[in-house]
């Protein structure tokens, strides 16, 4: 069946991009047809219409306005779609030159995918958006990643078994893999919600990748950037190839690749990141995470740097000390107040520069560059005193030397330009004489039109006569049908030429008006074209200084992070940790930063600080922590892990004092969750995570374990917990916190040299438990589970029965007798009978007196008398 030329063009372009929704530009709309329209209408909740027929069936159709397309793109990307943006490559007038039925040329100018976004409206300004690639060449493998919106480009050698932890650290939006290995790698990717994109084997060819990288950076060899193996070149080359595919040859600014040392940072697996809620809370959002609690940065670049440091704490003592020196300097130096105020006005230089390089920017990106460089120059000029530490001084040295570019942009641009270059009005008056001349003619032409309107009104005697403008007729004279008869009749008809009649109006023109329209339109178009030319010139000038601008942006981010951490330390009363190469771990008065903030913002209750000393001069050092549920064991475990991470990222820590010997790995097995998609029960997930710890932890690791073995039978669980603790002590030799309800394990403290018992203190009053949240040396005698169940609101009959069963079980255990059958025969387990009278607690005389009091109705004298009665009752 024949199709229209326009539909034939759509089908041809769609065939070349089968995996993407095709945004087909038609005037002011992006239209979608066939199955694309059906899928997009459902995803975007927009109307599905139809246009013509194809093979006898209606063609489904939907569309979105071009001016608001970004919001729809974001929705589609978040729902897993990819979008091919097809633009008109010529205007309709040019198409008509080839024939009246010629179709406007169109072509895909960009593939929009999760890892290739650059627009502010599609990105989180305070978070990186990484595009990653994993490559394997023979026995070697590597991971490369690029933030296209900032140009940051990194690579590292990586064993495939470490792919999961690294993906958890980087959280890329999209991962490129070789199509042959897609199925094998899907297991590593499925847990992280990452979009996986297969590319051909040719895209991962290391020889072709090296050539693409050399072309990108305009060099003959990559030796100047470092020594890369074939796997690393393959991964980086695949990213460049993918950029060519998605950007249709229009490559963004990419910084020279940097190699990351896998051993230079603390190794943290995915489960630990999730359990500790480093950058995201268990609920999925950022609120409630450690990052949200400590982030006081003022710039987008600073926020992204803070997240990178938290996700990748350093194992290099010198780097950690340099960062702590910078924080200490700003904490003690009043000059930082002026720096803070300047940082508030620093825009996102990285992303503005990236948009300009892709020709997706506008005048506001140029002013962002200008404003950021002005603030940087001001900071560098004022300096921060002769005592600034190395890190601060180095950052200041990287922020100067661009006065010529600043002056150029300051002279050329207005203070607050429009969003788009085509709107004009962003070049300052006085910068370009030709532009000023065109603007003058354009603006005076408007006043001439107003004068002509008045003249025509006087000539015709029609005071309501107006001169208007639209894109079809241009300028025209409009009057009502009632007055039009006069203008259509001599002698006025010799001057006023009829153009159009509508339902209520009649439109005219004159030779004089047509001539003036030509002059005005030429002046307006000339002004717009001049501004576009100047915009291109300014953009090219800025891009020529891209390396220096990137350097300035990095320096500003470093200062912002140091200042932010200093403000955090001052506000929260945090201390500077001592980080060294020893195996010390001595926290005095440690606190959980997230829980402390939550308490302060909620109930206002103070957080109970606790000490923790896992210093291990030889062998391991393990605290075996017992105590009831809800007493704070998990909080204590997590807070010490977070303090270690904060220290090694270069931050002050929530403690009175802290000494931490560098930890190489952090492992956490806290909480319970299943993995039904893989057929794993809660207990199986627990065992898999425990196995990973025991197989990987070294003598520099910090391990926190909570309730190992609780998901199976009591003796099975006890046996597993017992063996795990012994393995940590004898084989891994790690520093560890081991929380458990198996009180039998406390006997190991007397058998293993480096195991100490600790417990969370509680008090019992009238059968109820009071949590003190204090960690003390020693072992708990029981878990107070029934009391906690009572606090949770279990029915009184259940609590009473639980006490009976517990007492009988404990008695049977002491006497070595079998009690199970007697318990079952005595009372059905799920009986809803009331509690036996013998188990009901007698009412205290004090409680009877207090219960009879009505404070709102008492006089001060009556209240004093009641107090004396209570005192007397207490004696009895």
Which residues are CB-contacts of 461 (< 8 A; sequence separation ≥ 6)?
486
Q: What is the three-class DSSP state of 759?
A: strand
Q: Is 633 annotated as a binding residue?
A: yes
- Chain centroid offset of residue 539 CA: 29
Q: Say how far residue 279 (Cα) sits from the centre of its chain.
A: 8
CB environment 630-669: b (16+ within 10 A), e (fewer): bbbbbbbbbbbbbbbbbbbbbbbbbbeebbbbbbbbbbbb
Q: How far is CA 187 from CA 163, 175, 195, 239, in A?
A: 10, 13, 13, 22
DSSP letters, 418-455, are -SSGGG---BPTTS-HHHHHHHHHHHHHHHHHHHHHHH
CB 381 within 8 A of CB 399: no
308 C-beta neighbours (distance < 10 Å), count: 16
Which of 664, 684, 778 is closest to 732 using CA atoms?
A: 664
- Distance between CA atoms of 317 and 315, rounded to whole angstroms? 6
Strand locations in 171-261, DSSP E? Answer: 174-178, 195-199, 258-259
Q: List, in order, residues 6 or more apart from 407 with CB less than 8 Å away.
A: none
Residues near 401 by Cβ (< 8 Å), separated by ≥ 6?
548
- Closest by CA position to 177, among listed 212, 136, 133: 133
Annotated binding residue 630: yes
- Distance, CA of 786 to CA of 628 (rounded, Å): 10
Q: Is 634 annotated as a binding residue?
A: yes
Q: Residue 681, annotated ligand binder? A: no
Selection from 735, 691, 685, 736 nearest residue 274 by Cα: 685
394 cis-preceded (ω within 30 degrees of 0): no
Known binding residue 632? Answer is yes
How many Å apart are CA 864 and CA 876, to the nearest integer? Answer: 19
Residue 628 labelled as part of a binding site: yes
The one-character DSSP state at 41 is H
- Which of 656, 671, 669, 646 shows the shortest CA–CA distance to 290? 646
How many other CB atoms sit within 10 Å of the CB of residue 380?
A: 19
Of 563, 617, 618, 572, which is closest to residue 595 (Cα–Cα)? 572
Binding-site residue set = 627-634
Binding-site residue set for ATP = 627-634
């Amino acid at each position: 069946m024949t199709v229209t030329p326009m539909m034939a063009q759509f089908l041809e372009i769609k065939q070349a991009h089968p995996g993407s929704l095709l945004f087909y530009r038609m005037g002011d709309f992006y239209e979608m047809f066939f199955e694309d329209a059906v899928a997009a209408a459902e995803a975007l909740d927009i109307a599905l219409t139809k246009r013509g027929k194809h093979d006898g069936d209606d063609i489904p159709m939907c569309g979105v306005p071009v001016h608001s397309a970004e919001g729809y793109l974001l929705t589609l990307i978040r729902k897993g779609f990819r979008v091919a943006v097809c633009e008109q490559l010529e205007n309709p007038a040019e198409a008509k030159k080839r024939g009246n039925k010629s179709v406007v040329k169109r072509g895909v100018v960009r593939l929009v995918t999760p890892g290739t976004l650059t627009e502010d409206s599609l990105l989180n300004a305070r978070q990186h958006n990484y595009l990653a690639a994993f490559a394997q060449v023979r026995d070697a493998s590597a991971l490369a990643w690029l933030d296209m919106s900032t140009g940051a480009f990194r690579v590292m050698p990586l064993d495939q078994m470490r792919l999961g932890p690294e993906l958890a650290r980087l959280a890329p939006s999209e991962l490129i893999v070789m199509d042959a290995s897609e199925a094998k790698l899907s297991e590593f990717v499925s847990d992280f919600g990452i979009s996986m994109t297969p590319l051909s084997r040719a895209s991962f060819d290391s020889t072709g990748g090296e050539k693409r990288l050399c072309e990108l950076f305009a060099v003959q060899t990559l030796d100047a950037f470092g020594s890369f193996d074939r796997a690393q070149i393959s991964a980086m080359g695949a990213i460049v190839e993918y950029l060519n595919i998605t950007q249709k040859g229009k490559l963004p600014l990419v910084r020279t690749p940097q190699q990351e040392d896998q051993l230079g940072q603390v190794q943290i697996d995915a489960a630990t990141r999730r359990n500790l809620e480093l950058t995201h809370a268990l609920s999925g959002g950022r609120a409630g995470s450690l990052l949200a609690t400590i982030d006081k940065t003022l710039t987008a670049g600073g926020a992204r740097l803070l997240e990178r440091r938290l996700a990748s704490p350093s194992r290099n003592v010198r780097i950690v000390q340099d960062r702590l020196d910078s924080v200490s300097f700003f904490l003690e130096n009043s000059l930082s107040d002026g720096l803070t105020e300047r940082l508030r006005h620093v825009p996102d230089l990285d992303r503005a520069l990236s948009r300009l390089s892709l020709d997706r920017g506008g005048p506001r990106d140029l002013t962002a560059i200008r404003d950021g460089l002005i603030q940087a120059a001001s900071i560098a000029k004022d300096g921060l005193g002769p005592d600034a530490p190395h890190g601060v001084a180095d950052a200041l040295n990287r922020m100067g030397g661009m006065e010529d570019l600043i002056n150029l942009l300051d002279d050329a641009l207005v203070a607050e330009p429009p969003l788009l270059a085509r709107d004009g009005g962003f070049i300052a008056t006085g910068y370009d004489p030709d532009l000023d001349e065109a603007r003058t003619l354009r603006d005076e032409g408007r006043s001439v039109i107003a004068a002509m309107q008045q003249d025509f009104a006087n000539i015709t005697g029609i005071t309501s006569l107006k001169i208007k403008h639209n894109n079809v007729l241009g300028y025209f004279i409009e009057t009502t049908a009632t007055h039009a008869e006069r203008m259509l009749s001599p002698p006025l008809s010799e001057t006023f030429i009829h153009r159009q009649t509508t339902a209520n109006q009649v439109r005219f023109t004159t030779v004089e008006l047509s001539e003036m329209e030509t002059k005005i339109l030429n002046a307006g178009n000339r002004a717009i074209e001049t501004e576009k030319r100047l915009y291109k010139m300014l953009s090219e000038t800025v891009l020529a200084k891209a390396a220096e601008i990137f350097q300035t942006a990095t320096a500003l981010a470093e200062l912002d992070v140091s200042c932010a951490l200093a403000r955090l330390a001052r506000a929260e009363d945090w201390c500077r940790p001592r980080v060294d190469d020893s195996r010390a771990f001595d926290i005095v008065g440690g606190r959980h930063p997230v829980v402390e903030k939550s308490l302060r913002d909620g109930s206002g209750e103070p957080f109970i600080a606790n000490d923790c000393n896992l210093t291990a001069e030889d062998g391991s050092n393990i605290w075996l922590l017992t105590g009831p549920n809800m007493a704070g064991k998990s909080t204590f475990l997590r807070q010490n892990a977070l303090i270690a991470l904060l220290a090694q990222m270069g931050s002050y820590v929530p403690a009175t004092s802290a000494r931490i010997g560098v930890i190489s790995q952090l492992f956490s097995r806290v909480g319970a969750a299943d993995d039904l998609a893989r057929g794993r029960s809660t207990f199986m997930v627990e065992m898999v995570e425990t196995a990973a710890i025991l197989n990987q932890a070294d003598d520099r690791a910090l391990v926190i374990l909570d309730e190992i073995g609780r998901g199976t039978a009591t003796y099975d669980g006890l046996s597993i917990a017992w063996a795990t603790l012994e393995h940590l002590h004898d084989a891994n030799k790690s520093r560890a916190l081991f929380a458990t309800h198996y009180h039998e394990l406390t006997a190991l403290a007397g058998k293993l040299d480096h195991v100490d018992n600790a417990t969370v203190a509680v008090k019992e009053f009238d059968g109820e438990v009071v949590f003190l949240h204090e960690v003390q040396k020693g072992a708990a005698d029981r878990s107070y589970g029934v009391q906690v169940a009572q606090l949770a609101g279990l029915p009184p009959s259940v609590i009473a029965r639980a006490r009976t069963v517990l007492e009988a079980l404990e008695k049977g255990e002491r006497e070595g007798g079998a009690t199970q059958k007697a318990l079952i025969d005595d009372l059905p387990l799920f009986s809803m009978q009331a509690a036996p009278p013998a188990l009901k607690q007698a009412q205290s005389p004090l409680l009877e007196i207090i219960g009879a009091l009505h404070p709102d109705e008492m006089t001060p004298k009556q209240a004093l008398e009641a107090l004396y009665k209570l005192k007397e009752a207490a004696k009895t």
